[in-house]
Amino acid sequence: MINRIVDFSVKNKFVVLVLAAIACIAGWWSMTHVALDAIPDLSDTQVIIYSRWDRSPSPSA
């Protein structure tokens, strides 16, 4: 299958070039027309750890 794709690409260079140009134009159009509402979260990372504490708070000697 890969050999057939490579053979087609070598024999039809213009078609491959046109398809690559169309893909580039479609990517550029998509990049300029997609609405992005990305707001970064600048707050500190918070981690909640639930654990069991089995020791009393008595001072050690």
Range picked from 1-5, 21-25, 54-58 for highest mean pLDDT: 21-25
**Structurally, how many domains does the chain consist of?**
1
Q: How sure is the predictor about 6, in pLDDT bands with cuts at 50, 70 and 90? A: very high
Residue 54 within a domain: no
pTM, full prediction: 0.53
Question: What is the SS3 assignment for 7-38?
Answer: HHHHHCHHHHHHHHHHHHHHHHHHHHHCCCCC
Residue 19 within a domain: yes
Residue 29 within a domain: yes
Residue 49 within a domain: no
Range of the domain at 28: 2-33
Residue 9 within a domain: yes
